[in-house]
Amino acid sequence: MLRASAFDYDLPSELIAQEPLPDRSASRLLVLERSSGAIRHARFSDVIDLVAAEDVVVLNVSRVIPARLHGKRDTLKGSRTVAGAMTEVLLVRELEDGTWLAMGHPGGKLKPGRRVAFGDDSAVEIVEMLGGGLRRVKFVGALDARATVAKYGEVPLPPYIRRAPTATDRARYQTVYAEHDGSVAAPTAGLHFTTELLDQLRAKGTAIATLDLHIGPGTFKPVEVEDLVRHRMEPEPYVIPEETAEVINRARGAGHRAWGVGTTAVRALETCADERGRVRAGAGETNLFIHPPYEFKVVDRLLTNFHLPRSTLLMLVCAFAGYDNVMGAYREAIRAGYRFYSYGDGMAVI
């Protein structure tokens, strides 16, 4: 089995995209044939020529919430509690009891009972310390969580985008088809789609199916152990509607192909696939870690972006297309000056 260090690679910093292109579908597209390792260069708008009329394209319609909040944590000064240093809180997801999973920075002072205030009308109180840097928090004050993020929240851009978020990011770090709030990172393969391109696919006869997988901050977490079997994914909630399962099963049953748009859609589908390659509708949480070797049950084609070294996303792509093929494609993308990561170019594995 491959070790985590096998998924390291060197990337010139100037190839890390800091801004989205003006036109979503004008991104470059590296097309990789997994049977041969052959590579060709295209534009993302050329997807219309790659997807067959009877294929099904599966989209993750989770919406990114402005989950990054900046406020002042309380601190003791003598016998008084006063506003202290600025603190960042990243909301991860809401729990059934109305509290939230969250991360804080700097985290050392965020102990149970401490509060972080966002203006005069909202604050979170630390309820419980959890593992992996997570805390359970509750909202206190006049505004609830949704009103707080609407008023004070920022788009949670990835750490490799080294600038402050702007109003443009609210639209561009979001797919055009996003429906349901819940992610703290975008399903980036879908950022290249325009409504016009989706309409062209439908007009061609391609089926468009949707699911939700709410993406947590673990998507940026590198694998820190050499033995991949020892790595644990953070659970993420998903929903696969009955209609989506039916569309995929009908298409594949007739000999057509299922395209996973992004690694999150792939993980949700593979989580809910049986041994015959049929998708079961349902909802739950998945911590499925796909890495070589892995036998895919449902997904026949993949649209994705270029991913971080040692990331579980890169490992999934290598499991799908073959380690040597993918690492060779990454070397070619670097040579050809492709733009990498969330706002970067795309890759089609056929």
Specify the pTM.
0.93
In the block, which residue shows the tokens 């509750």?
A: 138
**Those residues with Cβ within 8 angstroms of residue 166's Cβ, 6 or more apart along the chain or in another chain:** none
Whether 18 and 79 map to the same domain: the answer is no
Whether 245 and 181 map to the same domain: the answer is yes
Q: What is the mean pLDDT of the chain?
A: 94
Whether 34 and 85 map to the same domain: the answer is no
Flag whether 161 is in a domain: no
Where among 152, 179, 196 does a domain terminate?
152
Residue 77: pLDDT over 90 = no
Residue 79: pLDDT over 80 = no
Among 330, 333, 300, CA closest to 41: 333
Average pLDDT estimate for 30-43: 98
Where among 103, 119, 152 does a domain terminate?
152
∠ CA 187-104-78, rounded to 5°: 165
pLDDT (tens digit per residue) in 81-123: 456 789 999 999 999 899 999 999 887 778 899 999 999 999 9
Q: What DSSP designation does 85 have?
A: E
Query: What pLDDT was estimated at residue 341?
Result: 98
In the block, which residue shows the tokens 């703290």?
A: 184
- CATH code at 181? 3.40.1780.10
Whether 59 and 76 map to the same domain: the answer is no
d(Cα 186, Cα 60) in Å, to the nearest integer? 10
Confidence of residue 149 (pLDDT cuts 50, 70, 90): very high
Confidence of residue 218 (pLDDT cuts 50, 70, 90): confident
Judge contact between 155 and 170, C-beta under 8 A.
yes
Tokens of 121: 């009308």
Domain hosting 256: range is 4-64+169-349
d(Cα 336, Cα 69) in Å, to the nearest integer? 38
Q: Looking at 214-257, which runs of residues are DSSP E strands? A: 236-240
Whether 317 and 238 map to the same domain: the answer is yes
Residue 76: pLDDT over 50 = no
| Cis before 106 (ω within 30) | yes
Domain count for the chain: 2
Query: What pLDDT was estimated at residue 267?
Result: 98
Whether 316 and 174 map to the same domain: the answer is yes
- CATH code at 121? 2.40.10.240
Flag whether 235 is in a domain: yes
Q: Looking at 106-144, which runs of residues are DSSP E strands? A: 115-118, 122-129, 134-140
Where among 119, 152, 185 does a domain terminate?
152
Query: What pLDDT was estimated at residue 271?
Result: 98
- 3-state secondary structure (DSSP) of residue 271: helix
